[in-house]
Structure 1
Amino acid sequence: MKLDQMDILLKQALKPGRYVHSVNTMKEAVRLAGHYGEDVDSAAIAGLLHDCAKNLNDEQTLEYCSNYGINLSRLEQKQVFLMHGAVGAVIAREKYGVENEAVLNAIKYHTTGYGSMSMLDKIILLADFIEPGRKHSEVDNARKLAYIDINRALISAFDSTIRYVMNRKGLIHPSTIEARNNILMLISYGHTDLEFKG
């Protein structure tokens, strides 16, 4: 399926505000991909479809998880909304015909991140955080860093997200901590092949 066909289907599936956010994320992802030498077409698809499961309620999300063998941790059972990335990867494959595993992975982890994120994973997570429609108070620093140092921009994004969740007494996904730790280790020691897992 071509990108314009995906766009038509997505517009029908999402609420107008969520659709606008998806298009904004796609455009930001394309700019970041061009800047960092990543495949622009993959970034466009992942950016457009990253929230393709956001139209589902918790019951529907859990049904997808059950039907497609997605196991939920205790934390994810309490915060089902975190699963829209994993379910979105399923929908991207089944409904939108996406077969590129790198694209599916970027959709799957765009909310939490994980320890050994690829450049495409980083681009989609960051594009989602900094797209022009985002008005949260801590977005400016990540935007300033986004085209200078993507790792430092991601640390800014993770720190902002963690503070937000902590202020609301929410649960922080272990994958987010793992992603943040790994990127901090990369920044500190300059190893591009380092993976830190606690």
Structure 2
Amino acid sequence: MKLDQMDLLLKQALKPGRYIHSVNTMKAAVSLAEHYGEDMEAAAVAGLLHDCAKNLRDDETLEYCRIHGIELSELEKRQVFLMHGEVGAILACEKYGVNDEIVLNAIRYHTTGYPEMNMMDKIIFLADYIEPGRTHSEVDNVRKLAYEDINRALIGSFDNIIKYVIHQRGLIHPNTIKARNSILMLISDNNQIRI
């Protein structure tokens, strides 16, 4: 399926605000992909479809997980919305015809991150965080860093997300902690400094 066909289908599936966010994320992803010499077409697809499962009800999300044999942790059972990335990867394949594992993985982990994120994973995670519709107080610094040092930008976004979740008294997904630690170690190794 071509990107314009995906776009039409997605526009019908999402609420208007979520659709606008998806288009903005796609544009940010393409810009980051171009900046870092990555596949801009793959970034466009992943950016556009990253939230394709976001409007599902919890029971629908749980049903997708059950049908596809995805076992949920206790944390994921309590915060089913965290599974919209995993289910989004399924929908991207089944409904939108995406079979590129790099794109599907970027969709799968755009909410939590995970250790050993590749460049496309990082681009989609950051594009979702910095797209122009995001106006939270910490976003401007991360937007600037995204084009200077993608790993430091990711640390900024992870730190801000973790602070927000703590402030909301929410549960922090272990993948987020592992992703943050992995990138901090990478930065430390590259700079040969201790954290």
TM-score by length of 2: 0.97
Give the distance between the partners of 1:71 and 1:105, measured in 2 at CA. Answer: 17
1:11-160, aligned counterparts within 5 Å? 11-160=11-160
Percent identity over the alignment? 73
Cα offset, 1:176, TM superposition = 0.2
Aligned length: 191
CA offset digits 1:143-176 (Å, max 9, x no partner): 1101000000000000000000001111000000
Q: Which amino acid aligns with 2:63?
A: E
Give the distance between the partners of 2:168 and 2:45, measured in 1 at CA. Answer: 32
CA offset digits 1:108-133 (Å, max 9, x no partner): 00000000101000000000000000
Give the distance between the partners of 1:91 and 1:65, measured in 2 at CA. Answer: 11
Give the distance between the partners of 1:121 and 1:91, measured in 2 at CA. Answer: 18
Give the distance between the partners of 2:22 and 2:133, measured in 1 at CA. Answer: 10
Cα offset, 1:73, TM superposition = 0.5
Give the distance between the partners of 1:73 and 1:130, measured in 2 at CA. Answer: 29
Give the distance between the partners of 1:70 and 1:92, measured in 2 at CA. Answer: 16
Q: Which amino acid aligns with 1:146?
A: A
Give the distance between the partners of 2:168 and 2:84, measured in 1 at CA. Answer: 20
Q: Which amino acid aligns with 2:170?
A: G
Moved over 4 A (4+): none
Unaligned runs of 5+ in 1: 192-198
Structure 2 residue 180 is matched with structure 1 residue 180: yes
Instruction: Indicate the SS of the match to 1:171.
Output: coil
